[in-house]
Structure 1
Amino acid sequence: MTCLRIPIALFGAVLLSGCLARTALDVVTAPVKVAGKAVDMATTSKSESDEKRGRDLRKREERYGKLSRQFAKDDGKCREGDIEACERRDAARSEMQQLRSTIPAP
């Protein structure tokens, strides 16, 4: 019986030393992994910034289109004598001019 205990104990020690070495390696590399993830979360990749820029541009273009339609509608009413429509038309024109400078030419 004691003959079997020694090989089993040696085999167990070898297995545990591998486990301990892996745990020690994980403990040592954990701060580097955490710091790497923090950097990844804090920085924006080129593709992410391009996507964001594209979304912002589409939103401005959509807003410009909506203002353009509203401008045409209010312009017609203004020509019929609706003073409030004239004020809305002028406000839409002003906002369209501001947006136009932020939208690149096609």
Structure 2
Amino acid sequence: MRYWIIGLLPLGLSGCIAKTALDVVTLPVKAASKTVDVMTTSQSEADEKRGRAVREREECIGKEQRRAERAGRAPDIDHCYRD
């Protein structure tokens, strides 16, 4: 019985070793893919960034107009367009 278990042990371990070897081989590809993904900006991300900037400018203009109205002066929205 003991020899039978010892005989099957290498077969059970071979799957584990093969999985580890596969993980080691694919690791550089996964790392490079992740790096490229982090370093590049997709079109949707760029669109979101532009949309966020437009909303922030519109919010700034609205605040400046309300402040100017309360103070009884003309709004100065030039500072809303500085980056």
Q: Pick one of 8, 11, 26 that aligns with 2:23.
A: 26
- Matched with 2:69 is 72
Instruction: Please give the root-mean-square deviation of Cα atoms over the aligned residues, in Å.
Output: 2.1
Q: Pick one of 34, 49, 53 that aligns with 1:52.
A: 49
CA displacement 1:67-96 (0-9 Å, x = unmatched)? 22223333x3x6xxxxxxxxxx4xx43617
1:44 aligned counterpart, secondary structure: coil
Cα distance, 1:10 vs. partner? Answer: 2.1
* Larger-Rg structure: 1
Taking structure 2 as the reference length, the TM-score comes to: 0.78
1:16 aligned counterpart, secondary structure: helix
What runs of 5+ residues in structure 1 fail to find an aligned partner?
A: 79-88, 100-106
Q: Pick one of 18, 38, 42 that aligns with 2:39.
A: 42
Q: After TM superposition, which residue ranges in structure 1, 4 or more long, deviate above 6 angstroms? A: none
Taking structure 1 as the reference length, the TM-score comes to: 0.64
The sequence identity of aligned pairs, in percent, is: 49
